[in-house]
């Protein structure tokens, strides 16, 4: 039996960071999720710099995973767009709660990792299904 590729630690760390930054808290009644990105971004001047540094950490994790430069560039564009939106007084602060660059970047990381491991995952899933079917016949 082939083993299913383990989700890399870098991807797991990126997922945790993105969740913390973009969707850690649920707003009661309306149910919308926000994260520290929008809250920290409210701090004039330094808030957006802090959130960019954290977002850059996610990109660094993608680089460590071996993602191609073209995808890293797209991730960096998401960060720049998020920074530029956040830099607009008041409107940018509201936009920070809706444009979730970290989650977009992690989704790109996940899709890339899945595409790199698709065949191994399919093979392992098929083998596990066959084993399960054998146990059901017994």
pLDDT at 1 > cutoff 60: no
User: 35 CB contacts (<8 Å, ≥6 apart)?
Assistant: 19, 20, 21, 22, 23, 24, 25, 100, 102
- 58 in Cβ contact with 105 (< 8 Å): yes
| 127 C-beta neighbours (distance < 10 Å), count | 14
The whole-number pLDDT of residue 2 equals 60
Percent over 70 (pLDDT), the chain: 97
Concatenated DSSP letters of 5-19: PPPPHHHHHHHHHHH
Domain ranges of the chain: 9-137
* pTM (two decimals): 0.84
Residue 71 has pLDDT above 90, yes or no: yes
Mean pLDDT of the chain: 90
Q: Which pLDDT does position 113 carry in this prediction?
A: 96
pLDDT of 130: 87
> What pLDDT score does 77 carry?
97
Which pLDDT score is estimated for 91?
A: 84
pLDDT band at 127 (very low <50, low <70, confident <90, very high): confident
Residues 12-44: tens digit of each pLDDT: 999 999 999 999 999 899 989 999 998 898 888
CB 42 within 8 A of CB 69: no
């Amino acid at each position: 039996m082939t083993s299913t590729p383990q989700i890399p630690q870098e991807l797991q760390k990126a997922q945790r960071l993105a969740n913390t930054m973009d969707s850690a808290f649920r707003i009661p009644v309306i149910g919308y999720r926000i994260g520290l990105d929008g809250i920290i971004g409210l701090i004039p001047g330094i808030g957006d710099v802090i959130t960019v540094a954290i977002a850059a950490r996610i990109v660094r994790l993608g680089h460590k995973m071996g993602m191609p430069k073209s995808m890293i560039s797209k991730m960096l564009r998401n960060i720049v767009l998020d920074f530029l939106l956040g830099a607009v007084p008041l409107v940018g602060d509201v936009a920070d709660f809706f444009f979730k660059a970290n989650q977009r970047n992690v989704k790109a990381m996940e899709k890339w990792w899945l595409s790199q491991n698709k065949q191994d995952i399919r093979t392992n899933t098929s083998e596990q299904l066959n084993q399960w079917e054998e146990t059901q016949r017994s």
